[in-house]
């Protein structure tokens, strides 16, 4: 499988090149040259397949030219060694728990796959690989944990100062080793802009071997498609298509679902559920995309005003908004609505949601209310464990949330970060130093 830059279709590279470059030289995102179709037999036996089975069958269609079969199987076995339960709250409403990895975030899945893929690719490389990561919350900790201690790889995480939760910040800033945390005086969009500028800076690329671990990297996007197939396979009724409600910030998660649909997964509708940072829902309403500065919310990992992966969505649909609208509904919610949803779900189902998953739940509930004749099952993606947002969740439900042991260990460690302005000159000077 080859991959091309969506900014210049003449730039065509291998999976290995796409992963190690992160972005094309022209700053474009990579996309597969063709989207493979899964055979009908795959869907007939999907309920018998483990998550690891699905991950192998899907990924080998994209990476088999660059990763041998046995190596790929080993990557998948080590990366995906935790459960992804599908929880049935009521007749049509399911939640897919994606937060059982080491950092209690759905981003563990893609980060662990990408880390092991990169480690394989640079096994004989003498020059150190520097990974730049902009995070609005969970990406940084997932990447830090996935790459921690890997030889020949240095990770630099940029996060917006005072705009992540206390536990998220602890996870970002207490790893040490080959992980460095930069506390940027600005927003997530500022962090993301700095990373993108670094990739196209000729002087930096002369001295450093740079790549990204954000969802702009194709090695993040492909593994995120796996759990859409797995969720569908766990449903009892396979005759109908399914509705997915996806908490959306940088839109990598939703883009991966669209990729799964293009590969043959029977999805009837995607719901792009956002907080008040709703540039994509507004585009779906008006037909015009207007990026704007992000606003701080309680679902902070979704505080993105100019989502990178929106460019991939446009590419998938030939920049035709009418085609996009057929597959995606955009829905946005306020912090107060999010808080009310957390309370509602706890009181109604004795079940606890984090604020991001609550936005996904709200999206599905609103769609079902607006479409009372809808009979298809709906699945909302649960992207983080509620324990990562104790200060918010516990007062709402008036109950102590149990903190998993793997999260507790971060609370006793001291924060170590380097504070930087949101100016590229300062970031560049730091990298060159």
- In tens, the pLDDT along 340-361 reads 999 999 999 999 999 999 999 9
Determine the Cα–Cα distance for residues 7 and 15; give it in Å rounded to an integer.
17
Share of the chain above pLDDT 70, in %: 99
Q: What fold, for 83-104+220-402? A: Rossmann fold (3.40.50)
Mean pLDDT of the 266-285 span: 97
Which has the minimum average pLDDT: 155-164, 166-175, 273-282, 321-330? 166-175
Give the residue-averaged pLDDT of 36-48. 95
**What is the reported pLDDT for 164?**
86
**Rounded CA separation 105/312 (Å):** 23
Indicate if the alpha-carbon torsion angle 334, 336, 339, 345 is positive or negative: negative
> In this structure, how many other beta carbons lie within 10 angstroms of the beta carbon of residue 66?
18
The pLDDT of residue 14:
97
Q: What is the pLDDT of residue 190?
A: 93
C-alpha closest to that of 269 among 163, 367, 383: 367
Residue 23 — pLDDT band, cuts 50, 70, 90?
confident
What is the reported pTM?
Answer: 0.91
| Residue 417 near residue 184, CB atoms below 8 Å | no
Q: Is the pLDDT of residue 239 over 70?
A: no
Residue 186's pLDDT band (cuts 50, 70, 90):
very high
pLDDT tens digits, one per residue of 44-76: 999 999 999 999 999 999 999 999 999 999 999
Residues marked active site are found at 107
Across the range 211-228, mean pLDDT stands at 91
For residue 21, the 8-state DSSP code is H
Read off the pLDDT of each residue in 397-410 and give the average, rounded to a whole number. 90
Better pLDDT: 173 or 140: 173
């Amino acid at each position: 499988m080859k991959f091309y830059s969506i900014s210049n279709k003449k730039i065509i590279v291998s999976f290995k090149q796409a992963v190690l470059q992160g972005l094309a030289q022209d700053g474009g995102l990579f996309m597969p040259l063709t989207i493979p179709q899964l055979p009908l037999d795959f869907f007939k036996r999907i309920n018998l397949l483990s998550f690891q089975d699905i991950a192998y069958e899907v990924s080998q269609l994209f990476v088999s030219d660059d990763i041998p079969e046995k190596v790929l199987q080993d990557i998948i076995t080590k990366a995906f060694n935790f459960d992804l339960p599908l929880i049935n709250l009521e007749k049509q409403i399911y939640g897919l728990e994606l937060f059982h990895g080491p950092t209690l975030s759905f981003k563990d899945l893609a980060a662990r796959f990408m880390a092991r893929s990169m480690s394989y690719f640079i096994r004989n490389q003498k020059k150190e690989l520097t990974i730049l990561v902009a995070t609005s919350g969970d990406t940084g900790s997932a990447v830090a944990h996935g790459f921690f201690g890997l030889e020949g790889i240095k990770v630099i995480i940029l996060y917006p100062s005072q705009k992540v939760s206390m536990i998220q910040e602890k996870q970002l800033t207490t790893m040490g080793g080959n992980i460095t945390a930069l506390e940027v005086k600005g927003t997530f969009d500022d962090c993301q802009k700095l990373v993108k500028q670094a990739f196209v800076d000729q002087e930096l690329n002369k001295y450093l071997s740079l790549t990204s671990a954000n969802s702009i990297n194709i090695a993040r996007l492909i593994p995120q498609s796996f759990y859409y197939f797995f969720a569908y396979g766990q449903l009892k009724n396979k005759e109908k298509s399914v509705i997915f409600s996806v908490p959306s910030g940088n839109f990598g998660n939703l883009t991966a679902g669209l990729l799964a649909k293009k590969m043959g997964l029977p999805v009837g509708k995607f719901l792009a559920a956002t907080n008040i940072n709703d540039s994509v829902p507004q585009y779906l309403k008006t037909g015009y995309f207007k990026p704007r500065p992000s606003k701080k919310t309680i679902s902070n990992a979704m505080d993105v005003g100019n989502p990178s992966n929106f460019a991939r969505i446009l590419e998938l649909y030939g920049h035709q908004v009418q085609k996009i609208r057929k597959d995606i509904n955009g829905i946005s919610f306020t912090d107060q609505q999010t808080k009310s949803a957390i309370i509602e779900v706890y009181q109604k189902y004795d079940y606890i949601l984090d604020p991001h998953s609550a936005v996904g739940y709200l999206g599905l509930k609103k769609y079902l209310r607006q479409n009372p004749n809808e009979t298809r099952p709906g699945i909302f993606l649960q992207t983080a464990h509620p324990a990562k947002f104790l200060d918010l969740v516990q007062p709402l439900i008036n109950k102590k949330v149990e903190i998993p042991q793997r999260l507790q260990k971060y609370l006793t460690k001291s924060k170590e970060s380097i504070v930087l302005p949101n100016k590229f000159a300062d970031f560049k000077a730091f990298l060159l130093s």
